Amino acid sequence: MLDLPDVLLMLDTLGRFVTTTVAGPVVLWTLVALAAWGGLRLVPSPPLVQYWTRVGVLLALPLGLAAALLDLGLPGEVFRPVSDVPWLGRTLAPIVVDAASTGTSASPAWRILFVGAGIGAIGAGGAAVVALTRLAADAYALHRFRAAHPPNAPAWVQEQVDTHATTLGITRPVSVCCAPDIAVPMTVGGGRPRLFLPESLCSDEQALAMTLTHELVHVQRFDYVVHVLVRTVRALFVAHPLVPIYARAVATYREQACDAAVLATNRVPRKAYATLLLQWTQRVSSTPASALGLAYSSSTLKSRISAMTSHVVPSRPALSLVLSALLLVTTFTLMACGDVGTEEPSNATPPDAPVPPTEIDTQPQLDGGMQALYSAVTYPDIAQEHGVEGRMVVQFVVTRDGTPTDLTILNADVQGEGPTPPEDAAQSLEDAALDAVRGMTFTPGEHEGQAVNAQMAVPIRFQLPE
């Protein structure tokens, strides 16, 4: 059973990882998101531009964070065995060494910060688990709803759907289900979309035509796929206050953009369309089936009707997509590559290395876990004095008795305050990394029940506090 010191140590370790690896990209995304939000509020733009820009900002968060975590300043070397060695190997989790937290012990202020960050990370992870569970429940309910409502529309309704789809350039087959238990129109599916319509629509040709145009614009723009992605991002990052705000705005502008597209056809009377929307406000469904589908929402209908009474700014779908893609790529690049250097490949195979087997059943295990290695790495004083930071991969062979040998530095990238860091300061980082790994012990790897030699590698990064 874990006692309090063990719990604090675990929280401290998690907090160090969060503050040195995750916090930077998330803060950068937050600044970009705030700037984008302010720009969209200050500069009048069509709903479609508002929609796609916000989608681009939201999707940049998980993509940029994933790239930053996979990179960690060690492109191509972090989460895979070294490619230029012909035998099997294993790469340990990366070690990030912060000058503020190395040495005999971290200061109480830093320790409190790290423990607090660890608690916050656990809370954010718990909130994400709850949100993802709810999302999975909605997806299951929607799956059951779709299975219970197969296509059954009258031939003339399906013919209208096909005609409208052809007009909009939709080549995917679109099926229709009309049923009395469907409260409001809803679109489900990306590759093979299905429209779910209230049975009463089949007796009102004008309302049906307006509804079909709106729903098929969703199909044309793959809004359902985007909706699922946005819901997933919101679930993963529900603890970030900006993410739910962005997700709600995406839903609002998605519907406003569709309304603008419907009215832009000049085949739909504005007053009749607004009246139709008002009718749906009294019938919005709150069932889980509509939670993940593109259904009418009472929270967006009021703003949609209000937007219809104002001047409709012409939308350019191509321009909107270009702006969204540009913002996504820019944010992604800033988050993922803000600290990426260029490494030159090096020959990593020691000529006299013991030959490990071509197969291994059980990988070597570091005694004491990664925390033992983390605690063993110290940031050299001379490197701190000269403002020298660096990153490298330590490759080694764990022998049959669990001792690391044939230690080699791969792809070292050391940078200082000046154009060329002092040689002794740069060398001190490599020596610190080698000394830490050299002092470790392992439970050796096994093949067919026998201890064998096995090659491993661990990325280590030295960084100074901001």
pLDDT at 325: 59
Contacts 24+ apart (CB under 8 A), 275-284: 276/207, 276/210, 276/211, 277/301, 277/304, 277/305, 278/305, 280/184, 280/185, 283/183, 283/184, 283/198, 284/183, 284/184
Tokens representing 429 are 């980082």
**247 Cα distance to chain centroid:** 14
pTM exceeds 0.85 for this model: no
Q: How big, in percent rounded to 5, are the helix, strand and coil portions of the chain?
A: 55, 15, 30
Round to whole Å and give the CA distance between 225 and 334: 26
Domains of the chain: 76-104+343-466 (3.30.1150.10), 139-238+261-312 (no CATH)
pLDDT at 193: 94
Bridge pairing between strands 365-366 and 442-443: antiparallel
Say what the alpha-carbon torsion angle 53, 55, 57, 61 is, to the nearest 10 degrees.
-170
Say what the alpha-carbon torsion angle 367, 370, 371, 373 is, to the nearest 10 degrees.
80
Do the beta carbons of residue 210 and residue 278 sit within 8 Å?
no
pLDDT at 324: 56
pLDDT at 382: 86
pLDDT at 329: 60
pLDDT at 296: 56
Cα 431–435–440 angle (5° rounding)? 155
Exposed / middle / buried, residue 134 (Cβ in 10 Å: 0-12, 13-18, 19+):
middle
Angle between helices 47-71 and 23-42 (to 10 degrees): 170
Q: What is the mean pLDDT of each run of 10 residues along the chain (466 residues)?
A: 70 79 88 90 86 91 84 37 36 55 52 85 95 93 91 91 92 92 88 90 85 92 94 96 95 89 80 81 54 57 60 51 58 54 40 51 84 82 84 88 90 73 82 90 87 86 77
Cα–Cα distances in angstroms (integers) from residue 287 to residues 121, 247, 290, 359, in the given order? 32, 20, 6, 54
pLDDT at 321: 55
**289 Cα distance to chain centroid:** 25
pLDDT at 288: 44
pLDDT at 336: 53
